[in-house]
Every structure is written in structure tokens, then in C-alpha cells.
Structure 1
Amino acid sequence: MQQPELLDAAVVRAWVSTAARALAEARAEIDRVNVFPVADGDTGTNMYLTIRDAAAAVRAAPADAGGARLLRLAARAALLGARGNSGVILSEWLRGLTVAATRGDSLAIALDVAARTARRAVAHPAPGTILTAAESAAAAARHAEAGGMVGPAGAPARLSTTDAACRGAREAALRSVGALEQLRAAGVLDAGACGLVLVLRSLAAAQRAVSERGVSKGGGSERDAPQGQAPARQVPGGDEPDGERDGVSEADGSIEPVLLDIDLRGHATPAAPEDGAVAHASGGQGPSRAAVASPHGHRHDGDAGDDVELMFVLERSAVAEDFSPGAVADALRADLDDVGSSVVVVGGGAEGGADDARALWQAHVHTADLDAALGVARRWAARGAVSRVSVRHLAVPPDRWAVVVTTSAPTLAAELARGGAVVVLDLDVPPTADDLAAAAFGAGAPHVLVLAPEALQQDVAGADVVAGPQDGPDAAPEVVRVVAPGDLHLVAGMSALAATLDDPGEQDADVSAAVGAVVAGLRVGGGPAVTVGAIVKRLVAGTPTAIVTLLPDDGVPDATVQVLASRAAAVSDGADVVVMRTGRPGDHVAVGVEPLAAEAGGPA
């Protein structure tokens, strides 16, 4: 039976929802084998969250939207919501597939365009990763579409284009352990390649379901193309698909779960490949500098012990005189490559179609010099708009609790990230509640503390991006919100969270109260550097003090900061004095005083 094409609206709807469910189920297993380029254990989660946003956009589309429109919506949502290195690459693969499919290319050609587009987005490709799997899938699809006979153990059996692509990607994933030193040393398959296998298998399952139900109308709409395959089967770790579950319709949910069916771990270390054996392959981002040993015992590009991940979205008018999507991406990629590694820049088209006059790019870099990387973002902000700026540390995996904060202080953002926070940075376009909600859901912990101003807190817990079941593989985290009016409250809140979690007598239920009490009891003030000594003395007067925090702007000389710190220690009777620069221009110093016994405080 001939499978319906990718432009069939029923196929698109079933595909993205099935892929989201499949990645939700497998994300923990994929996370555990994530060792390249950095062993930060989030590839499965990042790929899932990226596809989840695409599925949400398709779910929200009008019922009569055609396949081309649905693909564009999915690609745009994936680009905007891409998380991490693997999610950004996946979003570009989907964008390339969409561009080719909507201009009428066959599926095999579209897969080839997707693989080449994704590869170009990576500054320094390496073999054996998601891009190698994409190329292998495209090659197998072209062979099948040309009439090639592909069967197990050499038996002649013609595969559909999609099934051939699935087989090609799977074979590349199985070979990946021999392609990179990190994978060989750990005895694991590449996490991103395995994730792409699930995405392609989900496409094959969606095509079969639509075909077997006999509902394909040659690119028809959702109204005349219900999807699904009965009988339904319970999703492992989830509920029976009866009606809406995580945005998957009852019909979509009846497609049997797509499973990875690959042993990701425990592979014997193979012999090193012969010279040139993998030289033709391309894959995820590779070393742009000399590889060094990481604290995790793996090797990667750069020292992840001090690296942070910076991501941001650049938006420009698609009718600007100097507009050239490829040139913008190449220039931005080159700028980021000067300040970091693992550089990926994706996007550039008006993914929303003819009614979208704005072009979007998503940028990703690992860097030990956040100031330099943010300098790149600022320069591009002068030529467009930079939003969704996020910073996280690569060597601080979340445990029971994660923390999400927002600040406009670049240097403080680096300090907060190295303390374990996911930072949503106010650099050009102010962050929104949805940005915080997305960061909370993607933090990778069952409990998330959000420290942000009250204006951004109102809708965080109820935002669509974190709404969902509280059990199963795609469960939304528990989101606890504490109002933090300013940067000093962020520092105090993170300190309180760490102290609370370090106390074995504390329970998770006490976190909000413990952090909230410290934030509420903080005494704050500030002003020009010359006045801060007197301000500190006034704030600590009559109250035993535990911590004094000073946040000087960049215009305050180091010598002045040292004098202020000494005075603060003296007038507070030897309390701990913490100094962190804001990274903002100016000559002001903010002061926060945390009493030994927290008391309500306010601005001096």
C-alpha cells in the first residue's frame, strides 16, 4: 500500500504528536548516554522539548489547515523553542525538510535537503552524530525512491521511502560508537542519532496509520482526515490515550507507541577506525579547539568545567535591504566561533509562510567567556531584535530541584548560572512569562524554583508550555514561585535554596517557605559608590548580620570595591561579604543585607 506523502495534513498531525510521545518515553534513556560534545545528560530532554513545541503549534492550528501550513508552523515553533545543541540541530533538520517538502520535492529529496541544511548550521561537524544519521537516512531514502531493493540479510524486499530512511538512520546510530573517542570510551551510541531514529520511526508510523485507515485525501485537511490505528495500546509510563493527553488527540493517541528498540549502552569498545574510514561522514558539532579532559572523564571541545551554554533568538525583517538568510547565519556563526565552541546557528527563513514578514535565527554556543558571547548578541541586536536569551552551566546537572531566574546583569548571569541556575537574561527584548515557563519545563528536574519579579510570575505555573500531566514520561515539573524584585533577591534566594537542600532535615515542601522568608527578610539599598559605606552601616544597624552582598556596576574601580568590602565586613561585625559585578555600565553599587534572623526589609 502506498504511503501518503509528507504534505498530507493528517500525516503531519499524527507525526509530530507521535514523535513527541516517543521522545517523552525515551528521553531519560537517551539522556543517560549523552557524552558528546559535553556529558551534560540532556539530549533526550532537549529533543523532546523541541518536538513538543512543534506538536503544540500543530495542535493549535485551524482544523482545515493543509499539510504545508502545518509543517511551517511546526518548523517555526521548533526553531523558537529549540533547547540545547541537539534541539537546535533537530529544529534545523525539520526546517530544511519543510522548505523542500512545501516546494514539492519528494520525501527522499526533502530528507537530503534536511540533512545538508542541518550540517551547514554546525560550525565544526564531527562524525557519528545526529547529522551522520540524517545523511544515512537520506541516502537510504534516495536508494529506495530510485527503486533500490533493500532487505534484511540481502533478501530482496522493497522498502517504502520512509522505512528505508528509518533503517539508514538506525544503522548510522549503531555505527556511531566507533566514530568518536567519547562514544568508544563510554561504550554508548550517540544520543542525538538515536533521537532522530525515533523521529523518523514516528513519521513511518503516522504514514501507516493514515494509509491503513484509508483517510488520506492527497494533502487533505484534518476535517476530512482523522488519524489513528486501532486498537489503542497503553503508553508505557502513561495513561490510556482516551481523549486529550498532552495535546494528542484520541485518534493520534491510538497509534501504537513508537519505541527505540536499540541497546544504547554496554557496547564493547571497537578498534579505532582506519584513517579516512569516517572522514566522509558529517555529524554534530566537533572540536574547534584542542580537546581536553573534562571533569566527567570524557573529552570535548573546551573546558566544560567553566563553560556556560548561551542561546538566543535573532529576529529581523525579511524585507530589509541587507537581508540574506544564509549570509546572516554564516556571519553570526563566525562571530560566535570566535568566542566559544559547539556553535550552531539555525533558521533564516520566514517559517510562518507568506504571512510572516520576520525572519528568525536561533543561536547556540558553549563558552567560558560569557561577556564576549553576549557582546556578539548585542552587536546583532543593533541590526534586529534579540530575545529568549538563556544561560546555563554545562557542568551543573539538576538534581531534585532546579532554579530559574531572570536578570538584566550579564556578569551576574554567569555567576548565577555557575551556581546552578537557568538564567533568562533581559538583554534586548524583555523576557516573558512564557520564556520563564519554558525554562522551568526544560530545567530537567522534578521541582523548579522560579525567582523573578511579580509581573513575570503571574502566569508561569499555568502557561501552556508547562501544563500537562503530573505523571508519566512527559510530566510537568512542580513549579514553585518566589517573588524576587531585584538582583540581590536572586542571590539571597539561591543561597537560601542551597542551604535548605543541604539540610537533611528539610523537606521539599519547606523549600518555598524557606527561600521566601530569606528573600522577604533581605534589607536592600544602593547608590553611587561613594555613598555605599554609609548605606551598609545603616542597613546593618542593630541587627546581627549573616551576609552582606555588594553588586557594583562596571564603572566602579576595583580599588573602590575592595574598600567597600572591607568597610562592610567591619561594620557588620565580620559577616560574610559577597561581591559580584553586574556587568552593567554605571558607577552604582547595590547592597543587600541578610540578617541572622530574617526580618521584613525594604529599600533604604
Structure 2
Amino acid sequence: MSGVPLNVGSLTATVGGVQQPELLDAAVVRAWVSTAARALAEARAEIDRVNVFPVADGDTGTNMYLTIRDAAAAVRVAPADAGGARLLRLAARAALLGARGNSGVILSEWLRGLTVAATRGDSLAIALDTAARTARRAVAHPAPGTILTAAESAAAAARHAEAGGMVGPAGAAARLSTTDAACRGAREAALRSVGALEPLRAAGVLDAGACGLVLVLLSLAAAQRAAAEGVSGASGSIGPVLLDIDLRGHVGHAAPAPAAGGDDASSPDQGAASGGVRDAGRHEHEHGGVATDDVELMFVLERSASAADFSPGAVADALRADLDDVGSSVVVVGGGAEDGAGAGDADRSLWQAHVHTADLDAALGVARRWASRGAVSRVSVRHLAVPPDRWAVVVTTAAPALAAELARGGAVVVLDLDVPPTAADLVAAAVGAGAPRVLVLAPEALQPDPAGPGAEAADEPEAAPEIVRVVAPGDVHLVAGMSALAATLDDPREEDAGVPDAVGAVVAGLRVGGGPAVTVGAVVKRLVAGSPTAIVTLLPDDDVPDATVEVLASRAAAVSDGADVVVMRTGRPGDHVAIGVEPLHADAAEGRA
């Protein structure tokens, strides 16, 4: 393509007071992120089906798509006169804040590394190398054959093309040739990935994250090629970018698995996810090696860039080490404005943290410690072994212990740990929940607008999920709502359209109360009076003695004529007990009689 006449301007960026050509001009950046979002949207289900590492939770394609989608949304609303480097900074910041899952977080850091190099005025090959190295540093225990390997292979191919004079004179055409070389390098790494890790060998598939990165690079090449040929990068003007790879790989020709203890074989998740390709995009997670009590915790940390206890460059390392003590699949990305990546503003720096853990309380303890040094927001918890059913559900609570219980029930939990969540946070959780229909259980003030910002994005081949709201003003309403949802989904007579009404009726009909533990016995008696009771829920705070909880549970069972009594600790300090009483429905009451 080096001989194709260029119709793009010779835009420049000021680096150290010197005018230099921009790494990627604004038109290319706009077309790239939009094209990548469309490409990943098309391929997400196919990539999800082969996701077996680090855990077989079938969401790598979805997570990468949602992450780059947020980047595309930020670029789409950027000022028309924004240059390429500024657009990359906006995209990187949006990707960091919106990153989903292990693969999405790594992709956001790869994009941030590219942005650092673009801001410095580096060549494309050096930028790809910087992106690969920053992504690898973000992972506590990198493994071979993953998106990290594909990024490194792409960078190596790009460096070889530039160093060997294969790309011709400097300019947009040269950068396109460099990108084409990077695409080939990433593709070759993806094709080799089936032999790099035992879970991939056992399943006979390529690494899902590596394949997703190939699509991102192919989208960049398509955007550069369109600019070189004078084609507008507007929506729909660039043809679809497809992943021309057999994702099932070639097990019979796979290379031997790396020896134990090798440089990249230290991932604690390696060998933990050896399930096969899932039918219809789903897999029985027990057979995929996901521990039944493992949850994924993610949160955003914001700190002053001038804080004296840790330099911005040291925060990620320290936070990564802390999370590595309590879980696996640890990734921490981000940094400060001093690196030129736009992860924060002049005074604030941002990081996104990700961990898989069987000890959520310990992991939340890490988040709390860092909250004392900054601000922790966008705290989300989901269970790795509970895929969405006909409906996904998003809830919000300030009770840490309830977060684990609700996640085990299948909810995506937005936790109020430090900075209270917003309606936009619930929309983001709903969009990323991985189901076409999402039920949001939250207080009225936090109920998202299904048609509001974040619910839809342009230029994509699929609609946003259907978001249905049910007002749940307190934690007992969340527990009752989750129980009602499970019962409703198990009822073969219930059509999908009736699910929200059924859950909403249970939540609305709940009688609630509470107070200090020494007084709630009388409250229970008052709440159950007047009608038969199906379920009594007790939510004691952590300072309520076990003996007191047992007495309250016994009394609740006695005064409610043998109703089911559910006891769940909140995980909060205090001596209060919240109570919820669900009346017995008329048909159930007749059956009991």
C-alpha cells in the first residue's frame, strides 16, 4: 500500500516543543475504535465459545467488545477538532474505566500503552512494543499463548518491518505496512496458542483473548487503509472486519506444553480450566475448572497524583501484590497523567483492579485499605461459576457479606464500599451482564434509565439488552427479589414477559422492619401478625452474637407458624438486624392448610 496516494492531512503533534507527525491522525482513530467495536460485536459469541483460560466463563469476546465499545463511545462524542493523540487518550481513559473482565482490563492497558507512545511521538512499532510491555506488566502472573503473547508477537513483527526497511518512507502508508506486519504477527501467535497452555490443548481451541486482539489490529489496518484510499471513516463506510481463523485450532499439531516453572508458566490459573468447547456459548463451569466459590472482584482506584505515600508509578505494583495475596488472575492497570496516557487529569490518577478470589472478604479488605489512601468506586462482584439464565440480574448493596451471597445466586453486584454507585454504574453492569434481558434491583434514586446514556451505542449490529427496573429500597428486598427470581425462572409456566412482574410483586409485598438485636423479637411478631407467612429473612450485622441470632431465628419460626427463616450476615459492623417478612400467597396458604 506504500504507493497509494494519501488523502489525509499531515497532522502534527507537539512533543518536547517539536512538531512531529501524529502516530495516528484523528480520522484513523475515530474509524479504528468504531470498526473494532463492530468487529468484536460480530465475533463476541464465537470468541466466547472458546474461552477456557484463565477460567472457562465464556465471556472473553463480550468483555473485550464492551471495553472497546466504551472507548468508541468516548471518541464518538469528542470535540470535532480533537487530534489523534487526544482521541487516543480519551479512548484509553474510557476503556480503563469501563474495562470488563480479565481480557477487557488487559486490552485497556494495551491501549493505554499505545497512547503513552503516541503522546511521546514514538513510531508505530515502538508504540506497539510499549503497549505489549505495559500490558504484560499489568498481569501478576502472565502465561504464554494469551493476548499478551499475541501483543508481543505483533510488536516484534512491526519492529522487524520497520528495522528492515520493509515499510518504505515514513508516513501514513508506512504505518499501514507496519500494522499489516503486526496483524500477521498477532495472527501467528493466536494460531500457535493451542499448544501453549494445557487448558487450550485439552479443549482444542485457540486463546480467546489473542483472537480478540487480532480483530483489534485488523480494525486498525482497515481504518488506515480506508484513510489511504480516501474512504471516509464514518459509520458503515468501512466494510466488516472478520476473524478469518478456525478457533478450534489444531490439537494434533500442537506444540508440547511449556515445562512447569517456566518464565510464563507461573499463572495460578494455568491448568485450571481444561473444559472443552461449549455448546451454544455456554459450558458447565464445574467441568471448566472454576471453583464453586470463586468470584470476580473489580474496582477503580482514584488518588491524588501528588500523594506522598506512593508515587503513581508504584501504586499498580503495590496494589497488584496486595491482590495477589488473596486471589488469582490479578490484573491492575492505569496510572497518572505524568505518563501521558490520560488515565487521570493533572491532579488525579486512576487504576482499575481485577482479581478472582474465593475469599471475597479478604479481597474487599484490600479495596478498603486502598480506599483510605484514595477513593474506590465502581466496585463490582460476580460469580465465575454462575452464568446468566434467561434473565441476568444487577443489584446494589452496601453489605459486603451479602455481595458474596447475592453473587452466588447469579447477580452482578455493584457494591457501595466507598464511593456510592451511580445509575450509570448500574447501566454499565447491566450492559456487561451477558444476557439479552437484565433485571435491575436497586433503590429508586439509583434506578437507571433504560434509554439513557450507556444503554445504547451507535454503529453496532445488535441492540442493547432489555433493562427492566424493580425498585428494591433495602437489602431484604434484594434477598426476597433474588429468591423470587429463582422461583419464577424455575416455573415452566412463567413466560419471560411475566418475570419482572412476579419479582416486583414479591418485593412490593414484603413487610420490613428492624432495629437493635435486643428489640427485634417484638418487631418480628408485629410483622407476621395478620396473614400467613412464607419466609422470614433476618439480616444481622456482624456485632450481633451468634447466640442472639439463633434465638431470633427460633422465635421467628415460632411466631410465623413454621415459615422458612433465612439468616444472612451483612458483613457490616453494628448491632442491628434487618427483617423482611414475605406473606404466603393464597394458593400456597391453601396447600399448607
**TM-score (structure 1 length as normaliser):** 0.87
Which residue of the partner structure matches residue 237 of structure 2? 254
Q: 1:159 to 1:211 in 2, by over 3 A?
A: closer
Which residue of the partner structure matches residue 347 of structure 1? 334
Which residue of the partner structure matches residue 486 of structure 1? 474
Structure 1 residues 437-452: aligned runs within 5 Å: 437-452=427-442
Residue 288 of structure 1 deviates from its aligned partner by 6.5
Q: Could you tell me how far apart the structure 1 residues matched to 2:390 and 2:329 are? A: 28
Q: 1:275 to 1:477 in 2, by over 3 A?
A: closer
Q: Deviation above 3 Å: which 4+ runs of structure 1?
A: 1-6, 269-272, 274-280, 288-300, 351-356, 471-474
Residue 85 of structure 1 deviates from its aligned partner by 0.4
Which residue of the partner structure matches residue 398 of structure 1? 388
- Deviation digits for residues 105-146 of structure 1 (CA, Å, limit 9, x no counterpart): 100000001001000000001111000000000000000111
Which residue of the partner structure matches residue 518 of structure 1? 506
Residue 317 of structure 1 deviates from its aligned partner by 1.1
Q: Could you tell me how far apart the structure 2 residues matched to 1:298 and 1:255 are? A: 41
2:193 is equivalent to residue 176 of structure 1: yes
Residue 296 of structure 1 deviates from its aligned partner by 3.5
Which residue of the partner structure matches residue 129 of structure 2? 112
Which residue of the partner structure matches residue 66 of structure 1? 83
Q: Is the 8 A contact 2:197 2:270 kept in 1?
A: no
Q: Could you tell me how far apart the structure 1 residues matched to 2:519 and 2:357 are? A: 36
Q: Using the TM superposition, name which of 355-364 and 178-187 deviates more.
A: 355-364
Q: Could you tell me how far apart the structure 2 residues matched to 1:515 and 1:407 are? A: 18
Which residue of the partner structure matches residue 203 of structure 2? 186
Q: Could you tell me how far apart the structure 2 residues matched to 1:120 and 1:560 are? A: 49
2:267 is equivalent to residue 286 of structure 1: yes
Q: Could you tell me how far apart the structure 2 residues matched to 1:353 and 1:181 are? A: 35
Residue 12 of structure 1 deviates from its aligned partner by 0.5
2:98 is equivalent to residue 98 of structure 1: no
Q: Could you tell me how far apart the structure 1 residues matched to 2:470 and 2:429 are? A: 15
Q: Could you tell me how far apart the structure 1 residues matched to 2:176 and 2:83 are? A: 27
3-state SS of 1:585 partner: coil
Q: Could you tell me how far apart the structure 2 residues matched to 1:299 and 1:41 are? A: 10
Q: 1:293 to 1:179 in 2, by over 3 A?
A: closer
Q: Is the 8 A contact 2:534 2:564 kept in 1?
A: yes
- Of 105, 108, 133, 1:88 maps to 105
2:251 is equivalent to residue 264 of structure 1: no
1:331 counterpart letter in structure 2: A
- Of 324, 349, 355, 1:365 maps to 355
1:257 counterpart letter in structure 2: P
2:583 is equivalent to residue 595 of structure 1: yes
Unaligned runs of 5+ in 1: 151-157, 215-226, 229-250, 599-604
Q: Could you tell me how far apart the structure 2 residues matched to 1:495 and 1:59 are? A: 41
3-state SS of 1:479 partner: strand
- Of 295, 306, 322, 2:309 maps to 322
Q: Is the 8 A contact 2:48 2:208 kept in 1?
A: yes
- Of 156, 177, 182, 1:139 maps to 156
- Of 152, 156, 180, 1:163 maps to 180
* Identity across the alignment (%): 85
Which residue of the partner structure matches residue 464 of structure 1? 453
**TM-score (structure 2 length as normaliser):** 0.89
Residue 346 of structure 1 deviates from its aligned partner by 0.3
Q: Could you tell me how far apart the structure 1 residues matched to 2:78 and 2:563 are? A: 57
- Deviation digits for residues 446-466 of structure 1 (CA, Å, limit 9, x no counterpart): 100000000011x43122211
Residue 324 of structure 1 deviates from its aligned partner by 1.6
Which residue of the partner structure matches residue 278 of structure 2? none
Q: 1:148 to 1:175 in 2, by over 3 A?
A: farther
Q: Could you tell me how far apart the structure 2 residues matched to 1:47 and 1:207 are? A: 21
Q: Could you tell me how far apart the structure 1 residues matched to 2:213 and 2:107 are? A: 8
Q: Could you tell me how far apart the structure 1 residues matched to 2:560 and 2:396 are? A: 29
- Deviation digits for residues 137-166 of structure 1 (CA, Å, limit 9, x no counterpart): 00000001112669xxxxxxx981000000
Q: Could you tell me how far apart the structure 2 residues matched to 1:55 and 1:304 are? A: 35
Residue 297 of structure 1 deviates from its aligned partner by 6.1
Q: Is the 8 A contact 2:336 2:344 kept in 1?
A: no
1:587 counterpart letter in structure 2: D
CA RMSD of aligned residues (A): 2.4
Q: Is the 8 A contact 2:401 2:571 kept in 1?
A: yes
Q: Could you tell me how far apart the structure 1 residues matched to 2:543 and 2:350 are? A: 34
3-state SS of 2:267 partner: coil
Q: Is the 8 A contact 1:31 1:45 kept in 2?
A: yes
1:322 counterpart letter in structure 2: D
Q: Is the 8 A contact 2:286 2:292 kept in 1?
A: no
Residue 289 of structure 1 deviates from its aligned partner by 9.0
2:268 counterpart letter in structure 1: P
1:17 counterpart letter in structure 2: S
Q: 1:524 to 1:278 in 2, by over 3 A?
A: closer
Residue 279 of structure 1 deviates from its aligned partner by 4.8
3-state SS of 1:26 partner: helix
2:522 is equivalent to residue 539 of structure 1: no
3-state SS of 2:367 partner: helix
Q: 1:30 to 1:382 in 2, by over 3 A?
A: same
- Deviation digits for residues 574-594 of structure 1 (CA, Å, limit 9, x no counterpart): 111101000000000001000
2:485 counterpart letter in structure 1: L
Q: Could you tell me how far apart the structure 2 residues matched to 1:573 and 1:124 are? A: 54
- Of 548, 559, 562, 1:571 maps to 559
- Of 418, 427, 442, 1:428 maps to 418
Residue 544 of structure 1 deviates from its aligned partner by 0.6
Q: Is the 8 A contact 1:179 1:278 kept in 2?
A: no
Which residue of the partner structure matches residue 153 of structure 1? none
Q: Is the 8 A contact 1:436 1:460 kept in 2?
A: no
Q: 1:80 to 1:122 in 2, by over 3 A?
A: same
Q: Is the 8 A contact 2:196 2:257 kept in 1?
A: no
3-state SS of 1:466 partner: coil
Residue 496 of structure 1 deviates from its aligned partner by 0.9
3-state SS of 2:243 partner: coil
Which residue of the partner structure matches residue 31 of structure 1? 48
Q: Is the 8 A contact 2:534 2:582 kept in 1?
A: yes
- Of 34, 39, 57, 1:22 maps to 39
Residue 419 of structure 1 deviates from its aligned partner by 0.3
Unaligned runs of 5+ in 2: 9-21, 168-174, 276-283, 587-593
Q: Is the 8 A contact 1:6 1:107 kept in 2?
A: yes
- Of 304, 307, 331, 2:294 maps to 307
- Deviation digits for residues 535-571 of structure 1 (CA, Å, limit 9, x no counterpart): 1111111211100000000001111111111111111
3-state SS of 1:546 partner: strand
Aligned residues: 553
2:521 counterpart letter in structure 1: G
Q: 1:298 to 1:49 in 2, by over 3 A?
A: same
